[in-house]
Amino acid sequence: MAYTINKTDGTVVTTITDGTVDNTTTLQLFGKSFSGFGEGLNENLVKLLENAASTAAPTAPLKGELWFDTTTNQIKVYDGTSFKPTGGAKSSSGEPTSPSAGDLWHDTDDDQLYVYTGSAFLLVGPVYTSGQTLSGWKIETLGSSGGNKVVSSMYVGNSRVAILSKETFTPTVTQSGFASIKAGFTLNSTLSAVFEGTNTQASNVDVSGTSNTSSSVIAGGNFLRADTADTTVGALTVDNDTGVIVGDAQELTISVTSNNVTVAQTSQDKDLSFTVNDGGVTKTPLKFEGETGNITLTGVTTITGNTTVTGNLTITGEFENSSSEINIVNDAFLKLNTGNSEADAGVIVETGDTDDARLFYDVSENRWTAGENQTYSKLLLLSDMTDDGDGNKGTKPLTTDSSTGNLKVTTLTLAAVGSDITSSSSTTSADVITTGQATKSLKLWGGSVISDDSSNSIAGNRYVETSAPTSGQGANGDLWFVRQA
């Protein structure tokens, strides 16, 4: 009678007739009354014990059948399509072949564990190889006075580079390079560890140092601060026409428009002052008054070049011109002592005397007065003069009578007089002659080069002689008067 062999799920594997052997599966299945079944049965038991250990998979496996692959030294199970590793970790230097999802592989070269995802082996850990030694994050517990603190330590090559903590504390057990742990990220001080690279934002800058790492890595202490007074040893350049703005209300601005520079006091009716330290005393030599628009100059001020003043120029103190050039005033009048009570006023010329030379208006006399060295005289008026020098001797200066042009004097002595008449052209002289010269001219009204006393040798004039003229004397038209000897 034939046997029907069924699987666990009830499906038929095969039907074995009497006296035969079935090789449908990995094991030999014997029919009723098969002669010599004992050897085959025992071999079946051995195969079950060794899970069909071989370099080749069973040729007629059933789903769920185990096979020990002697090539990879793995126990594998048939999934209905192929043999897959049954799980557990496989230690080898290379990736296992034909892995199944969830299989673990221990890389014996790097001492790292991988899991098969179904498509590739994914590293489980550690993240560093055995040659790299401890590198990456390690969760640690550090003791402190406030209790144990859980931190994440960053290691590289078995050296702790940084500690990440949620709170600030001081470890009770000394941690090399970490005297205290800050909330956040703390770097190992013994390694001189720094953050380096590009950072888009930072809450704080350490300004305790001024030693630059390089020309492009600048210490925090070399940056100008905006929250307190600071100093720079370099030039400060504002490469923008908007310029510089100073003051809590932005009162002072320095700006540029079309290369023209403007310094502005922007607060209404407020001043712009320039001060100096004069021997420890602050003085204001120049002030621009916002309320009036006036300019105030105090002390000795030097202005080079031309200066135009629109409006009144008020000077408290002296006006001094240090050059030798003439001061030019285009106005028709120069007004002095404006707004003051009546006082002598005028022009003073500095000299080497006790008192300088002066031309001034004497208000007590209502007269212009001039003089030098404290000796002054009134300037003459026409009413101060006279044409009667005889009647006002030594009291008034002389002038001609306004109607006749006469001038009366008792005596008149001329220090400068004309010269004798020596030629016919002498009549052109306008010099005043003496009485003697007038008498002599009356004598010389002849016209010959010869005379009885040899003193009237003037040709072209009239002659008076005691004898008639001789040949060669005189000229055409001359007159000759003969007088008795």
Give, for 382, the enclosing helix (H) or strand (E): none
- The three-state secondary structure class of 83 is strand
d(CA 372, CA 359) in angstroms, rounded, equals: 9
**Residue 471 CB contacts under 8 Å (≥ 6 apart), including other chains:** none
Q: Residue ranges per domain, the chain?
A: 3-125, 132-196, 266-305, 413-485
Specify the length of the chain in residues: 485
Predicted pLDDT at 274: 93
Give the Cβ contact number of residue 178 at 10 Å: 22
d(CA 125, CA 40) in angstroms, rounded, equals: 48
CA distances from 429 to 286, 425, 437, 462 (A): 67, 8, 13, 20
Among 180, 183, 188, 176, residue whose Cα is nearest residue 144: 180
Predicted pLDDT at 280: 95
For the full predicted model, state whether its pTM sits above 0.85: no
Predicted pLDDT at 450: 45
Cβ pair 167, 151 in contact under 8 A = no
Give the Cβ contact number of residue 145 at 10 Å: 8
Predicted pLDDT at 208: 87
Predicted pLDDT at 312: 75
| pLDDT tens, residue by residue, 356-407 | 899 989 998 888 999 888 888 888 887 788 888 778 877 888 888 767 777 7
d(CA 184, CA 27) in angstroms, rounded, equals: 67
Instruction: Specify the amino acid at residue 421.
Output: I
d(CA 131, CA 340) in angstroms, rounded, equals: 103
Predicted pLDDT at 473: 64
Predicted pLDDT at 145: 95
d(CA 467, CA 477) in angstroms, rounded, equals: 18
**What stretches in the chain show pLDDT beneath 50?**
446-461
Instruction: Specify the amino acid at residue 195.
Output: F
